[in-house]
Amino acid sequence: MAKRKTKYVCQECGYESAKWMGKCPGCNNWNTLVEEIEASNMKNRHGLGIDKRSISKPEKITAIESQKEPRMTTSMKEFNRVLGGGIVPGSLMLIGGDPGIGKSTLLLQISSQLAEKQLPVLYISGEESTRQTKLRADRLDIKTDMLYVLSETNLFDIANQIEEIKPSLVIIDSIQTIFREEVTSAPGSVSQVRECTGELMRIAKTNGIPIFIVGHVTKEGAIAGPRMLEHMVDAVLYFEGERHHSYRILRGVKNRFGSTNEMGIFEMKESGLREVLNPSEIFLEERSQGAAGSTVVASMEGTRPVLVEIQALISPSSFGNPRRMATGIDHGRVPLLMAVLEKRVGLMLQNQDAYIKVAGGVKLDEPAIDLAIAISIASSFRDQPTKPDDIFVGEVGLTGEIRRVSRIEQRVQEAAKLGFKRVICPKKNLDGWTIPKSIEVIGVDTVQEALQVGVSR
C-alpha cells in the first residue's frame, strides 16, 4: 500500500510546505498552515465537461479574424457598465464582499432579469436551501419559470445539472462551500477552492456559459483563498458599502473584457437593489453651505467622473503627538500634504490634530484628489470657507507644484452639468481641449496659487 503524502497549505495565501510552521513565510500570518493529503492521481470524472480535447495549432496573429464579443445585457445599466457593457458568454467572474452586504440579492436580481428574457438561468446555493432562496425571491417579487434553483455543494452533481439544463447563466453561491470528491481536504480549503474554480473555468470556456462565483472575504477585505483565484477568473468585482448606509458600490478591480476600476452605485431598498444613475448628486445632496474645511473634487472612477465632498477638521492638539486620521483615503497621504503646506506655504500645522473624511462612504485613491485635500486642510486651519461652487483637481508634489491629471475634460463637463462655476486645476491641463462656456477653468502652478484663488485670508 502506497504511503500517503501530506503537505501543509496556508489558508490565506496558498503557500505549501513539507512541514508545519507557526508563521507562514508567504504572508507572515500565524497559525494558517493546515495539513492536507496530497492527491497522487486525480482523474477527471465523466460529466464535468472537460474530457473532450482538441489539438490546437499556433496561428499568425494577422490571420486571426477580429470580432466583437457578444454580450448579454441586464436591466441594470450600472451593472452592465461595470462589466464593460454586459456579460460575455463563457466568462468566469468572481464577486466578493462583506457578509450581508447584498451579493446574493444582486445576483438573484440579475438572474431574474435574464430569465424574464426567456434565458434559462441556474442559481446554485451551497449555503441556503431552496426554500430560503424562495423567500428572498418573494421579497424581490421574482416570478419567472426560467430561473432554476439548486441547493448542492458537490461539483460532480453541479456539472451534471449544468449539462442537463444547459443554462445561459450559472450562479455559484459560494465557492467556499463547493467541494470535489477527489480532493481530500475540507470545503473552503485552498486546494478545494483552487480545484473547483479550475473545473468551473473549464466548464465555462468549453460550453460558452458565463459563470458568477461568490467569494467570501477576509477581515482585511480581500477575497479569501489563494491569490491565484483572482488570476484564474476573467473579472473580479467587489461589492462594498457601510452597514449604516443604504448605498452600495460595485467596483471592478479586474476585467478582461472592459476597463478596470469601474464603479456602479446601488441603493438597498426593501424590494431589492435600485441603481443610482447620477451618484454625484447623491454624494453632494447633504453638503453644508459655507462650512470651513469642505471642498469638492472631481474624481475618476474608471471611465466615469464622480463629484465627491472632502471634509477636513483641524484643531489644536492636547497631546504631544498630534493625531492624523483619515477615512476614505490613504492614511499616509494626510501627513505628507500637511508637511507640504507647512514647508511651502507656511501654515504651522505641526501641533494640530487633523481629521479627513470623504463624505458618502466612497474610497478614493487617485493622485488627482491631493489638491482638494490640501485646500480642505488650509480652509479648516484658517477657518475660511471655500466658495460652494468651486471644484479642485490636481496632484500635489513635494515641492508644492500642481501636476497635471488625466481626463480633465470629462471632470470639467461633469462639474458644469451639476451647476458648478469654477474649476481650479493644473495649468498644464488647459491646452488641447475646448472649455465649456458655462464654467470657468483656472490653472495654477503651485499650492500657494491655489490657496490664493480658493481660500481667502
pLDDT of residue 55: 67
Residue 165 three-state SS: helix
pLDDT digits (tens, 9 = 90+) for 43-91: 444 445 444 555 678 989 888 887 777 899 999 999 999 998 999 999 9
Task: Report the distance separating Cα 298 and Cα 261, nearest Å.
Answer: 16
Residue type, position 108, single letter: L
Query: What is the average pLDDT value for the chain, to the nearest integer?
Result: 88
User: Annotated binding site for ATP: which residue ranges?
Assistant: 97-104
State the pairing for strand pair 169-173/422-426: unpaired
All three cell numbers of 402: 500642481
pLDDT digits (tens, 9 = 90+) for 323-361: 999 999 999 999 999 999 999 999 999 999 999 999 877
Task: Report the distance separating Cα 169 and Cα 118, nearest Å.
Answer: 12
User: Annotated binding site: which residue ranges?
Assistant: 97-104
DSSP letter at 72 equals B
Q: Which has more confidence, 44 or 187?
A: 187
Please check whether the domain covering 282-454 is classified as CATH 3.30.230.10. Answer: yes
CATH for 74-277? 3.40.50.300
State the pairing for strand pair 247-255/304-316: unpaired
Model pTM? Answer: 0.78
Q: In what order do the strands lie in the sheet with 33-38?
A: 16-17, 5-10, 33-38
All three cell numbers of 295: 471642498
Q: Which has more confidence, 170 or 224?
A: 170
Share of the chain above pLDDT 70, in %: 92
pLDDT digits (tens, 9 = 90+) for 240-279: 887 667 888 898 989 998 888 788 889 988 889 999 888 8
- Does residue 78 contact residue 207 with C-beta atoms inside 8 Å? no
Residue 353 three-state SS: strand
**Residue 190 in this model has a pLDDT that exceeds 90:** no
Task: Report the distance separating Cα 367 and Cα 336, nearest Å.
Answer: 13
**Backbone φ, ψ for residue 347 (5° rounding):** -80, 125
Among 42-56, 93-107, 428-442, whose mean pLDDT is lowest? 42-56
CA angle 221, 223, 229 (to 5 degrees): 155
Residue 115 three-state SS: helix
pLDDT band at 27; cut points 50, 70, 90: confident
Quickly tell me which residue has 462655476 as its cell. Answer: 421
